Amino acid sequence: MVTAVRHLGPNWYAAVMGTAVVATAGAALPVPLPGLRTACTAVWALSLLMLVALLAARALHWRHHRDQARAHLLDPAVAPFYGCLAMALLAVGGGTLTVGRDWIGARAAVAVDVVLFGAGTVTALTAAVAVPYLMAVHHPARHRLDAAQASPVWLLPLVAPMVAAAVGPSLVPHLPAGQPRETLLLACVALFGLSLLAVLLMLPLVFARLVTGGPLPLALTPTLFLVLGPLGQSTTAVGRFADTAPGVVPGATADGFSALAVLYGVPVMGFALLWLCLATAHVLRARRDGMRFAMTWWAFTFPVGTCVTGAEALSRHTGLAVFDGLAVVLYGVLVAAWVAAAAGTVRGLLSGALLAAPRPAPVALRPVTARTTSGAAR
Concatenated DSSP letters for 272-312?
A: HHHHHHHHHHHHHHHHHTT----GGGGGGTHHHHHHHHHHH
150 located within any domain:
yes
The whole-angstrom separation of Cα 333 and Cα 305 is 9
Helices 82-95 and 106-133: angle between axes, nearest 10 degrees: 160
The whole-angstrom separation of Cα 157 and Cα 10 is 12
DSSP single-letter state for residue 216: P
Distance of alpha carbon 258 from the chain centroid: 25
> pLDDT at position 31, please?
86
201 located within any domain:
yes
pLDDT value at 367 more than 90: no
The whole-angstrom separation of Cα 321 and Cα 308 is 14
Task: Please say whether the beta carbons of 341 and 300 come within 8 A.
Answer: yes
Q: Where are the beta strands (DSSP E) in 24-115?
A: none
Handedness of CA 225, 230, 236, 239 (dihedral sign): negative
Residue 331: strand, helix, or coil: helix
Task: Please say whether the beta carbons of 220 and 151 come within 8 A.
Answer: yes
281 located within any domain:
yes
- Per-residue pLDDT tens for 45-102? 999 999 999 999 999 988 888 888 888 887 888 889 999 999 999 999 999 999 999 9
Q: Domains in the chain: how many in total? A: 1
pLDDT value at 377 more than 70: no
Q: The whole model's pTM is what?
A: 0.91
266 located within any domain:
yes
Question: Which of 207-211, 218-222, 233-237 is predicted least confidently?
Answer: 207-211
- Per-residue pLDDT tens for 266-314? 999 999 999 999 999 999 999 999 999 999 999 999 999 999 999 999 9
The CATH number that applies at residue 259 is 1.50.10.150
Biggest CA-to-CA distance, the chain: 59
Cis, bond preceding 367 (omega within 30 deg of 0): yes
Handedness of CA 324, 328, 330, 334 (dihedral sign): positive
Residue 145: strand, helix, or coil: coil
- Per-residue pLDDT tens for 228-269? 999 999 999 999 999 999 999 999 999 999 999 999 999 999
Give the range of the structural domain holding residue 335, as residue numbers without chain letter.
10-365
183 located within any domain:
yes
Task: Please say whether the beta carbons of 145 and 76 come within 8 A.
Answer: yes
Higher pLDDT pick, 68 / 128: 128
> pLDDT at position 65, please?
83
376 located within any domain:
no
Task: Please say whether the beta carbons of 83 and 158 come within 8 A.
Answer: yes
Task: Please say whether the beta carbons of 162 and 89 come within 8 A.
Answer: no
51 located within any domain:
yes
Q: What are phi and psi of 359, to 5 degrees?
A: -75, 145
| Amino acid symbol at 192 | F
Q: What are phi and psi of 238, to 5 degrees?
A: -65, -30
- 280-301: b (≥16 Cβ within 10 Å) or e: eebbeebeeeebebbbbbbbbb
Q: What angle do CA 337, 338, 340 make, to 5 degrees?
A: 65
87 located within any domain:
yes
